[in-house]
Amino acid sequence: MAEHVRDHRSVLAAAEKRLLIAIARRLPTWINSDHLTALGLLAMGMGGAAYALARWDVRFLWLAITALAVNWFGDSLDGTLARVRGHQRPRYGFYVDHVVDCFGVLFLLAGLALSGYMSPLVAMALLVAYFMLSIEIYLATYCLTVFRLSFWGFGPTELRLLLAIGTVALLFRPTVEILGSRHLLFDVGGIAAIAGIAVALLVAVVQNVRALYRAEPLPVLAGAAR
């Protein structure tokens, strides 16, 4: 795979980049990117377990929020640390980081499906939507050498913040009333997320197919050109 360009234009991207570089420059030398990647995956597993356990004790929701913060630290900082130290491994880093992300989201949504705060069907549909968008992003990275990290100002950090805010809301109001019927708050949020992912996926597919078609148009036959 040719070296790709990162396209990250989320709302918090600029401030987050400055913060991550500052943290990376202060980390002990014995900590490397692999340690941070492993920490991010462990945090997602912890988050999934915390959501599942919150079915019996709501206080585990605070552990889930903590896990999201730890995941941000590990997952966001691993690549920054490699770049700050000049230890980039483009293919290894890209592969490992995103395989880990897929497992991490699986752990988190499995925990939500077991928590009672999100219906298993909604959690499964959200997981499928996430994987489909991920596949599109990785194919676009390979074909167009541009790795897109955000859509319409939302990237991984903004999504973690939304999930953390929603988790705090669960402590006070786990259900919402819509048109006279009560629904799980995270079912409503999950369906909204699925719809947003579906729109982002369709728009990205159309844009990328158009760009690739223009880059590789069909040849004009000699007879047709006359």
Domains of the chain: 5-215 (1.20.120.1760)
Q: Quick check: 10 and 150 in contact, CB under 8 A?
A: yes
224 band by pLDDT with thresholds 50, 70 and 90: low
Residue 162 pLDDT greater than 60, yes or no = yes
Q: Report the share of the chain in percent with pLDDT over 90.
A: 75
Q: Quick check: 81 and 17 in contact, CB under 8 A?
A: no
- Report the mean per-residue pLDDT for the chain: 91
Higher pLDDT, 212 or 10: 212
The model carries a pTM of 0.90
Tokens 């897929």 correspond to what residue? 102
Report pLDDT for 13. Answer: 83
Tell me the per-residue pLDDT of 66-76, one tens digit each, with 9 for 90 and over.
Answer: 999 999 999 99
Report pLDDT for 115. Answer: 95
Tokens 């148009």 correspond to what residue? 217
Mean pLDDT on 99-109: 96
Tell me the per-residue pLDDT of 193-212, one tens digit each, with 9 for 90 and over.
Answer: 999 999 999 999 999 999 99
Residues in the chain: 226
| Residue 169, both tokens | 């809301």
